[in-house]
Amino acid sequence: MGDIIQWQYKQKQITADEAVEFVQSGHYVAYGEFALFPKKLDAALAARAEELEDVQILGVSYAYVPEVVKADPEGKHFILQDLHFSVISRHLGDRGLCYYVPNTYHQGPRILKKYMDIDVAFITVGPMDARGFFNLGMANSVSSAVIQKADLVIAEVNNKIPTCLGGNQESVHLSQLDYVVIGDHEDLIQIAAAKPTIEDQRIAELLLNEIEDGSCLQLGIGGLPNAVGELIAESDLQDLGVHSEMMMDSLVDLYEKGRITGARKNIDKFKMVYTFALGSKRLYEFLDNNPICASYPVNYCNDPRIIALNDKVVAINNALSVDLLTQVSSESVGTRHISGTGGQLDFVMGAFASHGGKGFICLHSTYEDSRGKVHSRITPTLPLGTAVTVPRSLVQYVVTEYGVAQFKGKSTWARAESLIEIAHPDFRDDLIKAADEMKIWLKSNKIEP
């Protein structure tokens, strides 16, 4: 069997230049996800820029500025789209070179299979094993759906990719691939851990009081999750579990400190479940052939029904702003696109449905603009054009450095009151006045709770 597989493997090997010849004008091309960006294929496709028109390229949180953009800075030949919207996508979006594909993350694979026609898929994989399988590494969210839907699947091999165990659909077999390109085996991109701010530290201290022994954690990205991780690591919490969209360094720290065992999980017991990973070389080495970790497609990992099967789910995510109606935006400031929905809504819903679960939306009470003026992140209304990430009906908890507020079962005026109580003190009077003008409450006949 081994000799046959090796023969088939050699038959399917082509160069990157040969691979991109399959892309034609008007084609829809899917790139790999996150850190698993098909760099060699991207460069080869960029070299064909002048030959092509109206080629749409779909990524999932671009980790690099694509060479196709550098070759086509005015977007005459390639149109980029992103299912997750990275920092790079944001800057390209400001130039009209990248567009967000709105989605609730756990629905991504179904959206791809049902509504999107993919002509060519360029996926990045680890080296083939003796049985003909290529591991999808640290990015399993929609890759299997892309492979199933694409008319032509071409894999770019990078030997530096860790073997990330499942879970399920963490690998693709040689028989599912049309061609294979041997990449340059470059080191994977590393994301430095964000340093927590004073506000992050205070919010983390408040959140620590909400976490119990046996809680199942989901952490987002940024300084706040790192601050939470540091406090948990130094606490006496026991038997924590992990069911998190993203695997990051802070979770490795918690595991090595003995805080994470997964012993009290109801599903995927003893496993740290995730759908993608970004971080340091240490994180990637931790994931490599580690049976403690389980990589799943996002339609399993982020499905609120699956999330809710574990008890005491604690979901911690960041937001840009919240208005007095308790609408949450984590995606845009007005019409300027900042980020994607990601799994925030998935985990807010899943945590609420979990027995003893809590879904936290966290934000600093204020921010400073480029001119040094301080603004409240809790506002009367969201700016015109702002995308709502979590509708008010689904918000459970909001946390700032001034406190934790719970909103389920509260009326509109009680919600506004609770939100104002955790706003920055300098803005509370203005928010009270705005709430009165909006008739969320009337100060003259306000009913005390």
What proportions of the chain, in percent to the nearest 5, are helix, strand and coil? 30, 25, 45
For residues 85 and 321, give the distance between their C-alpha atoms in angstroms, rounded to a whole number. Answer: 18
Q: Which residue has the tokens 């706003």?
A: 423
Q: Is 417 known to be catalytic?
A: no
What is the DSSP pairing of strand 179-182 with strand 241-243?
A: unpaired
Please check whether residue 381 is in contact with residue 437, taking contact to mean a CB–CB distance below 8 angstroms: no
User: Considering 33, 156, 170, 245, which one is annotated as catalytic?
Assistant: 245
For residues 214 and 266, give the distance between their C-alpha atoms in angstroms, rounded to a whole number. Answer: 11
What is the DSSP pairing of strand 246-247 with strand 276-277?
A: parallel
Task: Compute how many other C-beta atoms are within 10 angstroms of the C-beta atom of residue 347.
Answer: 31
Q: Which residue has the tokens 């976490």?
A: 211
Helices 223-233 and 249-256: crossing angle in degrees, nearest 10, is 0
Task: Compute how many other C-beta atoms are within 10 angstroms of the C-beta atom of residue 312.
Answer: 21
Which of 160, 139, 127, 165 minimizes the C-alpha distance to 289? Answer: 165
- Could you tell me the two tokens for 322? 């919240």
Element (H, E) at 232: helix 223-233
Task: Compute how many other C-beta atoms are within 10 angstroms of the C-beta atom of residue 292.
Answer: 15
Q: Which positions are catalytic?
A: 245
